[in-house]
């Protein structure tokens, strides 16, 4: 009765891990909930909230919690391990304070939708009698592997050169996530990804930012264990079903995109003539690797748009930007969705973070996969061998992708029969992605089912 008087079916508090690649998918899902009659409030850390270059405003409210490092986030902490332990202790307390605050303001929360990286949030939800819903921003295949490790079903270090798990293709050890293939690396993040599953059996719902046909076999396996639903792709509606008229971009950027420069440069380029290159918000390539990519791009003779963060520009060859200016635009950050959606974009050289893969797949853009760490090697395996929307680069004995490889992979995508087949596959997946989130599609039905449950609880 109270909810009806307030004009919404339920009030969902959304808690992402404080990284852009986690915030935006959960924000986009929030917008879908609002469109179906649910009130949504995004809980950002104080530092994240101060760092935003744009504001989602409109349909989703923003409140803040603390991660204990309000002036610098992770960069302010002495170590990853300290940051994560403080995020848990301070985050849990300030999340509880926020739930109490919203109740006192007459906007009581009914459901907490929390990032899989933050399992402690479920404990807070249960303490308040809220529905606890875990939202995963990485693919089912990757989390399937992590689950088997966390439950002791896949012991580390790996004893065999291959990994065979139900619902997945046979994987080479190097095709598993880096925290599995190199189990001693980055212990803080290793614990973070494995710990996602410590209390998943107690979650009321398990939601994934993908769509059923993309990972049907592993989704079926997981759905037998949890109340699991796929609810993606969680891209702005403008790029998919166009049902949410105001939903034209993600709404939050922790980096300032140079949108006008980018789009103006693309405007007069021929169809499928530009190679877009970007390695996300976290990857840091070595100077030797940056130089090899640079010379490979130049040798390909294609136009290229390369996102190189300001902190990485010193790694480029001397005078490279000036020498290639007739064929290139090197920029510190760009509106990736708009670039991928532009008809001039012919392929995407990517680190294979899942957001980038899902964006390219949803917009029909073929990929050159150059994975770095975490989930990316597994995503790259699926890009080439399962979804067949791109090709993987290969490294030499020093772990470097050489310029000849960069040039060859670009040419394979942009020219010839193999490139044509990959492009056709990419277009097919684009159609399936849009179908899933459109009215009556698999993800849309799953969101309806979820909202109906919220409304009745």
Domain membership flag for residue 43: yes
Q: Which two tokens stand for residue 139?
A: 């693919």
Do β-strands 61-65 and 39-45 pair in parallel, antiparallel, or remain unpaired? Answer: parallel
Known catalytic residues are 22, 115
- Give per-residue pLDDT as tens, 120-166: 999 999 999 999 999 999 999 999 999 999 999 999 999 999 999 99
Residue 55: the pLDDT is 59
Q: Are residues 149 and 37 in the same domain?
A: yes
CA distance 120 to 91: 9
Sheet holding 274-278, edge to edge: 328-331, 303-307, 274-278, 345-350, 367-369, 390-392
Q: Token digits for 404?
A: 């000849």
Helix axes 416-437, 403-414, angle to 10 degrees: 70
Residues 149 and 77 placed together within one structural domain of the fold: yes
Same domain as 293, residue 233? no
Same domain, 107 and 219: yes
| pLDDT tens digits along 333-347 | 999 999 999 999 999
Domain extent for 132: 10-251+439-455
Give pairs for 72-80: CB < 8 Å, separation 24+.
72/47, 73/18, 73/45, 73/47, 73/48, 74/18, 76/47, 79/188, 80/186, 80/188, 80/189
pLDDT band at 392 (very low <50, low <70, confident <90, very high): very high
Question: Across residues 404-413, what is the average pLDDT?
Answer: 98
Q: Is residue 4 situated within a structural domain?
A: no
Q: What is the pLDDT of residues 83-104, one digit of tens each?
A: 999 999 999 999 999 999 999 9
C-alpha 350/C-alpha 356 separation (Å) is 7
Q: Both tokens of residue 381?
A: 């395996």
Q: Are residues 40 and 113 in the same domain?
A: yes
Q: Are residues 89 and 211 in the same domain?
A: yes
Q: Do 429 and 363 meet the contact criterion of CB atoms below 8 Å apart?
A: no
Given a cut of 60, whether residue 1 has pLDDT beyond it is no
- Residue 3 pLDDT: 55
Asked whether residue 2 is domain-assigned, the answer is: no
**CATH at residue 328:** 3.40.50.2000
**Does residue 81 lie within any of the structural domains?**
yes
Kindly indicate the confidence band of residue 2, based on its pLDDT and cuts at 50, 70 and 90.
Answer: very low
Is 160 among the domain residues? yes
Q: State whether 429 and 446 are in the same domain.
A: no
Quote the CA–CA distance of 342 and 322 in Å, as a whole number: 25
Q: Find out whether the peptide bond into 436 is cis, omega within 30 degrees of 0.
A: no
Q: Could you tell me if 205 and 297 lie in one domain? A: no
pLDDT attached to residue 257: 86
CA 369: distance to chain centroid?
15
Of 267-271, 411-415, 452-456, the one with minimum mean pLDDT is 452-456
Q: Answer yes or no: do 270 and 377 share one domain.
A: yes
Cα(38)–Cα(12) distance, rounded to whole angstroms?
Answer: 7
Same domain, 228 and 245: yes
Same domain, 118 and 150: yes
């Amino acid at each position: 009765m109270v909810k009806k008087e307030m004009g919404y079916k339920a009030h969902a508090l959304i808690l992402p891990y404080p990284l852009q690649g986690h915030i935006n998918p959960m924000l986009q899902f929030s917008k879908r909930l609002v469109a179906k009659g649910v009130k949504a409030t995004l809980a950002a850390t104080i530092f994240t909230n101060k760092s935003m270059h744009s504001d989602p405003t409109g349909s989703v409210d923003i409140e803040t919690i603390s991660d204990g490092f309000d002036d610098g986030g992770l960069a302010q902490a002495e170590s990853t391990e300290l940051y994560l332990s403080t995020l848990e202790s301070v985050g849990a307390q300030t999340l509880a304070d926020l739930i109490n605050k919203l109740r006192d303001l007459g906007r009581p929360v009914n459901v907490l939708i929390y990032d899989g990286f933050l399992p402690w949030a479920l404990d807070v939800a249960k303490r308040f009698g809220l529905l606890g819903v875990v939202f995963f921003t990485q693919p089912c295949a990757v989390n399937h592997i992590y689950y088997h490790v966390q439950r002791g079903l896949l012991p580390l270090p790996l004893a065999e050169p291959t990994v065979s798990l139900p619902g997945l293709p046979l994987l080479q050890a190097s095709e598993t996530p880096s925290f599995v293939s190199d189990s001693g690396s980055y212990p803080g993040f290793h614990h973070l990804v494995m710990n996602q599953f410590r209390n998943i059996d107690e979650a009321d719902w398990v939601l994934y930012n993908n769509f059923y046909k993309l990972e049907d076999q592993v989704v079926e396996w997981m759905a037998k264990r949890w109340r699991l639903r796929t609810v993606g792709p969680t891209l702005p509606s403008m790029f998919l079903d166009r049902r949410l008229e105001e939903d034209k971009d993600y709404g939050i950027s922790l980096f300032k995109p140079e949108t006008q420069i980018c789009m103006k440069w693309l405007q007069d380029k021929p169809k499928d003539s530009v190679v877009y290159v970007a390695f996300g918000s976290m990857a840091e390539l070595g100077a030797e690797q940056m130089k090899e990519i640079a010379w490979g791009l130049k040798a390909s003779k294609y136009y290229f748009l390369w996102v190189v963060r300001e902190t990485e520009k010193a790694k480029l060859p001397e005078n490279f930007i000036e020498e290639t200016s007739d064929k290139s635009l090197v920029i510190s950050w760009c509106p990736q969705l708009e670039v991928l959606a532009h008809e001039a974009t012919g392929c995407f050289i990517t680190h294979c973070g899942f957001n980038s893969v899902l964006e390219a797949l949803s917009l029909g853009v073929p990929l050159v996969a150059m994975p770095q760490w975490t989930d990316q090697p597994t995503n790259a395996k699926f890009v080439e061998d399962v979804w067949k929307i791109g090709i993987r680069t290969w490294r030499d004995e020093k772990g470097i992708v050489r310029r000849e490889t960069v040039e060859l992979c670009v040419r394979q995508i942009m020219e010839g029969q193999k490139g044509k087949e990959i492009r056709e596959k990419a277009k097919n997946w684009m159609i399936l992605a849009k179908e899933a989130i459109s009215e009556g599609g698999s993800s849309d039905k799953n969101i309806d089912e979820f909202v109906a449950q919220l409304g009745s609880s």
